[in-house]
Structure formats: structure tokens, C-alpha cells
Chains A and B, each alone.
Chain A
Amino acid sequence: EAGVTQFPSHSVIEKGQTVTLRCDPISGHDNLYWYRRVMGKEIKFLLHFVKESKQDESGMPNNRFLAERTGGTYSTLKVQPAELEDSGVYFCASSQARGAHNEQFFGPGTRLTVL
């Protein structure tokens, strides 16, 4: 069974440009999460989809970040325009069911560098 995949693995862009990150969750997982790790700090929650609906986007840093999950399958996270402080590793995770103790399966992350 394929795990969570993310594309690209690395992205280097200049300040002010736009970048779109993609996440393909494990097939059949309704829950999809985005996290971010900035420069060796803790991994922080960004938002949570249940199918195509945003369940919780309390972690999104500002309105330069836009996440979508059309059709409840893959998700994209767009940063427009990118700023220097957006550099970091963006992780996606998916899980099968809500409720207690459901494991989140993580992708390898996308390393974003904004110059």
C-alpha cells in the first residue's frame, strides 16, 4: 500500500513568488492534515480537512496560505506571495477515522526555501 506522498520534495523560490505544494493521502483516508516545521523548531499544525471540508484551520499563519482539497482526495497548499519566514519543511499526514487514538500517517515533507 502506498503511503502519503508529497510533491515536490524540495522547492527553492524567491521572495514574492508563488509556490504550490501537493499532498496525496493514503487512499480511503478522509482526514488530511498539514503541518510545518520552521528552522529546527517544533512541528506545528496548520489545518485539518475531513474529506473536502476544512475542519480546523486555526494553525494557518496568515492569508498568504491557501489550502484546498477538491473532491476530497489530494490536497494543495499554496503560498502567495512567499516570504522569507515561510521557509521550512511542510508535512502532510492522513488518517482513516476520527475519534480516539487514530494514527496519523505522515509524508516525507516538502522542504521550502524562500530566498
Chain B
Amino acid sequence: AQSVTQLDSHVSVSEGTPVLLRCNYSSSYSPSLFWYVQHPNKGLQLLLKYTSAATLVKGINGFEAEFKKSETSFHLTKPSAHMSDAAEYFCVVSELQDTGRRALTFGSGTRLQVQP
């Protein structure tokens, strides 16, 4: 069975400072890992995904994440926060089921606040 733990429910940073959103996962097989972002009144948008290629994954809006198998982590980072980054972020692990469905297991979400 797969599971995801987002270690922080809320993170607050100042504009221009680095962002670190932490995610640990467990999976029976080689997982695919994703980060999604949800801005108010918008759908979840894919930020980036890891699919067993490069362990350092670059996404949209300057975000990146590093897959560390030994630590079972997939932390999301950004060197410099922007006000528009304020949103809720979800770490997601995915495994292919026998039905053909990719079962997505979501973390509980981290709400990022960016202070001016």
C-alpha cells in the first residue's frame, strides 16, 4: 500500500526567500511522484512529476523536487518565493493498479503563505 506524509500543514516565508515543502512517501513498487498546486477557486495544477528518470525534477514557475529513494522523500523547493506562490500544495504518489487505473494517493496538503 502506498501513503504520503506532508510534514507541514502550513509554511510561511517572506517574499524572495527560499521555499521548502516536505514530503515523505511509502510505496510497494517504484512509484511515480507528483506535486500539485491549488490556488483559490482553481483546479489542482500539476507542478512537476518524477517518473524514474532524473532524480532532480524541474517544474513550472521555478519549482523543483528531488527524489531520494534512501530517504523516501520528494521535497519541493524554490530558491525565491513570489507572492503568487501562495497556495496549497499536494504531494501525490501514484501506482498502476490491475484495473489500469493509476491510483493517486494524496498528502494532506501544505498551505504556503508568502509575506511581503
Contact = CB atoms under 8 A, between A and B. Distances in A.
A56 B97 CA distance: 10
A111 B99 CA distance: 29
Given A3-B43, A45-B103, A91-B43, A100 B96 contact: yes
Interface string A39-76: 01111110010100001100000000000000000000
Indicate the size class of the contact surface on chain A. 20 to 34
B46 interface: yes
Interface residues of B, number: 26
A106 B107 CA distance: 16
Interface string B49-68: 10100000000000000000
A93 B101 CA distance: 13
B89 interface: no
Interface in A69-115: 91, 93, 95, 98-109
A50 B100 CA distance: 10
- Considering residues B49, B94, B101, B108, which has the most beta carbons from chain A within 10 angstroms of its beta carbon? B101
16 contacts: A4-B43, A35-B106, A40-B108, A42-B4, A44-B106, A48-B101, A55-B100, A56-B101, A93-B44, A99-B96, A100-B51, A101-B94, A101-B102, A104-B104, A105-B43, A107-B43
Interface of A: 3-4, 9, 31, 33, 35, 40-45, 48, 50, 55-56, 91, 93, 95, 98-109
